[in-house]
Amino acid sequence: MTRIEHAFHTGTGKALIPFLMAGDPTFDLSLDLFRAVLAAGADVVEIGIPYSDPLADGPVIQAAAVRALSAGFRLPKAFELAEELRRHTDKALVLFTYVNPLLQYTPERFFRDAKSAGVDGVIVPDLPFEESEAVRATADRFGLALIPLVAPTSDEERVAAICASARGFVYCVSSLGVTGERARFSERLEELVAAARRHASVPVAVGFGVGTPEQARHIASFADGVIVGSAFIRKLEEQLRSAEPNADDPSQRAINTLHRFAASLAEAIHAVPESAGTGANADKGVGER
């Protein structure tokens, strides 16, 4: 069993997947933040690789990328960070990058270095499905999951095609637009997850916009995993901005704050019964975790 598979087979079979930006605001603090959310109950972590033109990201995650790049973070250091995390955890590590830096680095070198660092999967949000075959073949050769995304605009035929070649898990985008916390999600979200579950042999997780334990619990009632990103980074920003004379170290406050938030999300998600949301897909084994 792979580490990603294991993440969806433990406890209730519902996985918390936090996203943080590598190198934000520094390499060392970001490493501590990843460790904090893992210790608090995260089942998988997404390691964001800073990029100067992140088309899928909203202002909160864009700002995180700018901070990391301004501090000198570059793509190869993402492998160093993953390697450091791997020394202390058996949980799944997933890199999140855009297609331009992946191609510039070359897929061969990228997946080789990722595998060497102990990474389990990679998400490339702007890699079109129609152009993904060669990249997926390279990832397969190194034993890494190229995790696909499906959007609310995808019809059943496209969802079926994407899910047929899915590795790791399917990433369902909750709403149109860029990342960022939302009060409401697409009215098609549950329908989209159900469609993905009908056609995928891997778990189905939802991301984009989840910001509270209540939202996470709701999504876990019909999906296998919940991805949370902007809410973590916004809390980090708040702690870094709120430094006052003679106050506690803002870095330690940030670590403690993200640990508590991850723990609250994990408690909400892991309280949802495994049978929740299995629906028609249970007989295909996706719900049997």
Distance between CA atoms of residues 218 and 193, nearest Å:
13
- In this prediction the pTM is 0.91
Q: pLDDT value at position 277?
A: 67
Options 24, 43, 57, 113, the catalytic residue: 57
CA distances in angstroms from 257 to 68, 186, 196, 236, 237, listed in the order given:
20, 29, 34, 8, 11
- pLDDT (tens digit per residue) in 220-247: 999 999 999 999 999 999 998 875 655 6
**Cβ(20)–Cβ(35) below 8 Å:** no
Mean pLDDT of all residues belonging to the chain: 90
CA distances in angstroms from 42 to 29, 96, 265, 267, listed in the order given:
18, 17, 9, 10
- For residue 86, pLDDT beyond 90: yes
Distance between CA atoms of residues 209 and 211, nearest Å:
6
Residue ranges and CATH numbers for the domains of the chain are: 3-8+15-275 (3.20.20.70)
**Cβ(13)–Cβ(289) below 8 Å:** yes
Percent of the chain residues topping a pLDDT of 90: 80
Is 120 a known active-site residue?
no
Is 131 a known active-site residue?
no
Options 5, 24, 32, 46, the catalytic residue: 46
CB-based burial of residue 86 (10 Å sphere; 0-12 exposed, 13-18 middle, 19+ buried)?
middle
Q: What backbone torsions phi and psi does residue 229 show, to the nearest 5 degrees?
A: -130, -65
Q: pLDDT value at position 168?
A: 98
Q: pLDDT value at position 58?
A: 84
CA atoms within 13 A on the CB side of 174: 26
- pLDDT (tens digit per residue) in 149-162: 999 989 999 999 99
- For residue 146, pLDDT beyond 90: yes
Lowest-confidence segment of 64-68, 192-196, 279-283 by average pLDDT: 279-283
- pLDDT (tens digit per residue) in 167-209: 999 999 986 544 444 445 557 899 999 999 999 999 999 998 8
Percent of the chain residues topping a pLDDT of 70: 89
Q: Which is more confidently placed, 54 or 210?
A: 210
